[in-house]
Chain A
Amino acid sequence: MLTKRIIPCLDVRDGRVVKGVNFDGLRDVSSPIELAEFYSDSGADELVFYDITASYENRALFTDILCETAKKVFIPLTVGGGINTVADFERVLSCGADKVSVNSGAIKNPALIGEAAKKYGDQCVVLSVDAKRVDGKYRVFARGGREDTGLDALEWIKRGVDSGAGEIVLNSIDTDGVKRGFDTEMLEAVTSIVNVPVIASGGAGCIQDFVDLFRKVPDVDAGLAASVFHFGEVDIKELKRELDKNGINVRLNKEKLL
């Protein structure tokens, strides 16, 4: 059966990997290409490249990095950040991306999901949602978590899937950067209303957080994190061994083949 996926997320600005804690205070971490290769060799099941400069500058630099990564890394690659049009999909898909993640671009223009799904297939369109509790409900936030859209997260996700989104990344702003575990309550609410893969994001601080995630919300397909991987707090090889020991079905890496 399908394995649970472990996905490191690389936020890229000016050609370098950065990670914000609670979306503030960026710190330079490493070269995206080197880091991608390192994670792939460590057993990452997939990678996310998030272009956090896309709306302003250095687009060409980002796509160059994508092309270089595609020459060296042979696991699925999702690209997000500044995706506002079908042309943006084409730009990153032609550089080796397999899936494209939309967030604010889809909030501004919900038709983008359907247009892209029709052209590239549902499996290519990932709807990424930053959600936070407001008045006892889950609310969608835009622009990197800074702007309350007023949209109900569960309704928005349902609508996205109905329009053709083939996968959901749910980032809980409430748990992001706090490193005390994933938002299993919010994830449970989402997995119960959709039948496409759901990727959990926000809150991983240690290996046990991933074990708890897959135990408490068995319908979650993947766990995504950034800084815990970048700073070596969670080693992916060790993480997958621990998940395996806990009876969670994961892909254990082949060290040597060729």
Chain B
Amino acid sequence: MVCIVDYGVGNLFSLKCSFEAVGQETVITSDAEVIANAERLVLPGVGAFGDAAQKLRDSGLDKVVTEYARTGKPLLGICLGMQLLFDKSYEYGEHDGLGLIPGSIVPFKGRVHEGLKIPQMGWNRLNINGGKSPVFKYINDGDFVYFVHSYFAETESKYVAAYTDYGMDVTAAAHNKNVYGCQFHPEKSGKVGLAILKAFCEL
């Protein structure tokens, strides 16, 4: 069973449908006990980093998620949920994340080529970095996934499972032991996205 953390940001209906489409029973919850006892956990998120991090702390779920990660069970952060896994973000100020993957979240603005649109919105290729992450076992280098983001993770190459090319190498997927993150939306990335979710469910 997959447990999706509900901490009051964004809509989780499509995400739930996508796990169900790969045959997983899925629960959306803010219940600390259910989260702590989950077999595998998904941290979603849309919107601004500061607001989301605050909501996670206000609900006390930040500690529940970090405790969960310490048990070694699989955790997947998606989009802003992935960004929250890092140490900190510089989106409108400076905010602390969960510190489960070393690195920080920085804006495209001022870093990418001037002619490129911000956010990066659309389909781009995954360029697998280093040894293939187990969540990519059903997909290939160069497969397309769907991105919508204005900030990205700056981290050491060893924590990057895949880059994407947006005028520069941009972290598309990250990992640190049992903690995984996708900057793109696997639930909106067609068959490739579903194949990634399926692989996550087999960890």
Contacts and interface: CB of A to CB of B under 8 A. Distances in A.
A and B: bona fide binding partners: yes
Interface of A: 1-3, 5, 40, 45, 67, 70-72, 74-76, 93-96, 98, 120-124, 166-167, 195-197, 221-222, 251, 253-254, 257-258
A2 B170 CA distance: 12
Interface in B154-175: 165-167
B89 interface: no
Q: Which bucket holds chain B's interface residue count?
A: 35 or more
Contacts of B148: 123
Interface string B172-203: 00000000000001011111111100100000
A254 B191 contact: yes
A75 B122 contact: no
Contact of B117 (A3, A196, A222): A196
A257 B139 contact: yes
B46 interface: yes
B123 A74 contact: no
A7 to B, nearest CB: 11
Contact of A95 (B13, B185, B187): B13
Given A1-B166, A94-B11, A197 B21 contact: no
Contact of A5 (B46, B118, B123): B123
A195 B18 CA distance: 32
Contact of B123 (A45, A121, A167): A45
A184 to B, nearest CB: 19
28 contacts: A1-B124, A2-B120, A2-B123, A2-B166, A5-B123, A71-B20, A71-B21, A72-B21, A74-B14, A74-B21, A74-B190, A75-B190, A76-B146, A94-B11, A96-B11, A121-B47, A121-B48, A123-B148, A167-B121, A195-B118, A197-B117, A221-B122, A254-B190, A254-B192, A257-B139, A257-B192, A258-B138, A258-B191
A209 to B, nearest CB: 21
A197 B191 contact: no
B47 A3 contact: no
B191 A3 contact: no
Interface in B128-151: 138-139, 143-144, 146-148
Contact of B188 (A98, A167, A251): A98
A56 to B, nearest CB: 26
Contacts of B117: 195-197, 221
A67 B13 contact: yes
Nearest to A255: B191
Contact of B121 (A70, A74, A123, A254): A123
B34 interface: no
A75 B18 CA distance: 10
Contact of B13 (A3, A70, A167, A196): A70
Contact of B144 (A70, A123, A251): A251
A98 B166 CA distance: 22
B195 A258 contact: yes
Contacts of A98: 14, 188
Contacts of B120: 2
A74 B193 contact: yes
A123 B123 contact: no
B122 A197 contact: yes
A195 B63 CA distance: 39
A205 B119 CA distance: 31
Given A76-B146, A197-B117, A258-B195, A251 B123 contact: yes
B192 A5 contact: no
